[in-house]
Amino acid sequence: MSDLQERISASFSAQGLMATLGAQLILVAQGEVRIALLPRPELSQQHGYIHAGVLTSVLDSACGYAALTVAPAGLDVLTVEFKINFVRPAVADRFVAVGKVTKAGKTLTVCQGEVIGEQGARRETIAVMQATIINVSGHS
Amino acid sequence: MSDLQERISASFSAQGLMATLGAQLILVAQGEVRIALLPRPELSQQHGYIHAGVLTSVLDSACGYAALTVAPAGLDVLTVEFKINFVRPAVADRFVAVGKVTKAGKTLTVCQGEVIGEQGARRETIAVMQATIINVSGHS
Amino acid sequence: MSDLQERISASFSAQGLMATLGAQLILVAQGEVRIALLPRPELSQQHGYIHAGVLTSVLDSACGYAALTVAPAGLDVLTVEFKINFVRPAVADRFVAVGKVTKAGKTLTVCQGEVIGEQGARRETIAVMQATIINVSGHS
Amino acid sequence: MSDLQERISASFSAQGLMATLGAQLILVAQGEVRIALLPRPELSQQHGYIHAGVLTSVLDSACGYAALTVAPAGLDVLTVEFKINFVRPAVADRFVAVGKVTKAGKTLTVCQGEVIGEQGARRETIAVMQATIINVSGHS
């Protein structure tokens, strides 16, 4: 593991919510991060499907960490804002949130991402996000 | 409790995620719904603050239920999309997500909402959301 | 006119687009700016109504100038991003774009705004916006 | 020209704003539409660069027409909402707005698009958009 992978892996493990959701960090690359999630009753909305907020949480994290892979050394990142569209029913055996850097700037980084639903051999986009992330002075 | 309050209360109780987050439905009025949340380590991001995705989840739910209070009888609602800005650090004793209907249409309803952080006597806006919700054929 | 009003008025007059659209700056206050616009065939979409992009342009300008009213002296502002919902048909005798500051920060300012359609005595919200603006080193 | 290309070309020509902006429809394909624009002083913001609202207007139109290429026959489209990020200075010899369909539904279509700045041999993304479009009963 590279320094960056170690750093993001450690940060991910420190997130209480990611453990609560059962989310797993499955890819850290320059400008791209992927997080996987299995549906569970504890994460459902009222009809038993996974809650939109859960998919949003992991996709927000994937975009934030993607931004971190391109941030200047020693800086941390914070989500300024994002927008998400839900384009298909959230029904899948596994969900993979993919965050990618669209443009890294000195202060702000823009990411785009999607949640992919995997069901058998099928791969379908369930949600798409556009996010703005800001570089901030790092935590020790 | 009115029929609408009962229906929304029952729907809220059926959400696995709201129980997992420890969220509480505290107001159901025509065009406005409020959900309260206490911070816990299980809901944190990597620095111990409440995760942006948690605040987003309860605010999304507050907006969705606000839209449901003005939906034609027998219809249910689904979130089409939303955008959220995080405007202050998420540090508070209690968070209250307030969803309000801006415009109810036959097919689509637009809501605006905010997360208010309560700390002692202080009340501050922590996040603001603009959401689009669609009326769909109801679940039995 | 205060210095701030003069400065925003001069900036507004320097915008080629605002002249092309026939937009008028009608209010500059601390944290709020209003721009008025009359519908004309040159600003229409394919069915003769005013183009959504025209309403967006004046509302973006109203939000940007609202942010400028609270920016530190000597700084200028740039739009980072915005989201706009169109909630009613854009039919009115006059449109007024109202931009208001939700939260002013050292680097970023979040504004919320709306386009109000005036038709006879009626005043209706036609569009709502949530925008992020960044303070940048001023132009001489 | 196919029927669809003719229909979109006729609709584009009926837009007063597109003529005012000097915008040109340069591609109509299944699920993708491109509109080109040259910068002019009449379209500027206060520092002489092209106004963000102008780029937004053509990108909104490109996304709307992209949605129309996949809409059921006889239906027209309306923009429900969009979000746009400005990721680089809007400096170019020519701007090309590219709208693409992400997911076409029975009622709603989600599009993603970008404005590309062309300067000499350079091609750079200047803005990215995520938009929701609704199918409505067609105009005669």
Packing angle, helices D3-13 and D52-68, rounded to 10: 150
Beta strands in C3-121 (DSSP E): 24-29, 32-37, 75-86, 94-104, 108-119
In eight-state DSSP terms, residue B71 is S
CATH of the domain at C72: 3.10.129.10
Give the Cα-Cα-Cα angle A67, D126, A99 (nearest 5 degrees): 25
| pLDDT score of A119 more than 70 | yes
Cβ-defined contact of C108 to A80 (cutoff 8 Å): yes
Give the Cα-Cα-Cα angle C44, C46, C47 (nearest 5 degrees): 85
Mean pLDDT, chain A, as a whole number? 95
The single residue listed with the structure tokens 């925008």 is C131
Domain that holds residue C103: 3-137
Distance CA A21, CA A61 (A): 12
A123 touching B (Cβ < 8 Å) = no
* C-alpha Rg value of chain A to the nearest Å: 15
Calculate the CA C91 to chain-centre distance.
18
If you average pLDDT over residues D45-50, what whole number do you get? 93
**How many domains is chain B partitioned into structurally?**
1
ipTM of the complex: 0.96
| pLDDT score of D138 more than 90 | no
The closest CB to that of A81, out of C107, C132, C134, belongs to: C132
Distance CA A62, CA A68 (A): 10
Partners of residue B80 in chain D, C-beta under 8 Å: 80, 108, 132
Calculate the CA B112 to chain-centre distance.
10
Can you give the pLDDT at residue D140?
43
Of A68, A70, A81, A57, nearest to A138 (Cα)?
A68
* C-alpha Rg value of chain D to the nearest Å: 15
| pLDDT score of B26 more than 60 | yes
Can you give the pLDDT at residue D2?
86
C137 to chain D nearest CA, in Å?
13
A63, A75, A81, A129: best to mutate for the C interface, most C CBs within 10 A? A81
Distance CA A114, CA C101 (A): 31
Enclosing H/E stretch for D110: strand D108-119
Is the four-CA dihedral C130, C132, C135, C140 of positive or negative sign? negative
A81, A84, A85, A116: best to mutate for the D interface, most D CBs within 10 A? A85
| pLDDT score of D28 more than 80 | yes
Can you give the pLDDT at residue B92?
97
* C-alpha Rg value of chain B to the nearest Å: 15
Can you give the pLDDT at residue A45?
93
Tens place of pLDDT for every residue, chain C, 140 residues?
A: 688 899 999 999 999 999 999 999 999 999 999 999 999 999 999 999 999 999 999 999 999 999 999 999 889 999 999 999 999 999 999 999 999 999 999 999 999 999 999 999 999 999 999 999 999 997 54
Is the four-CA dihedral B115, B119, B121, B124 of positive or negative sign? negative
Q: Kindly indicate the confidence band of residue B1, based on its pLDDT and cuts at 50, 70 and 90.
A: low
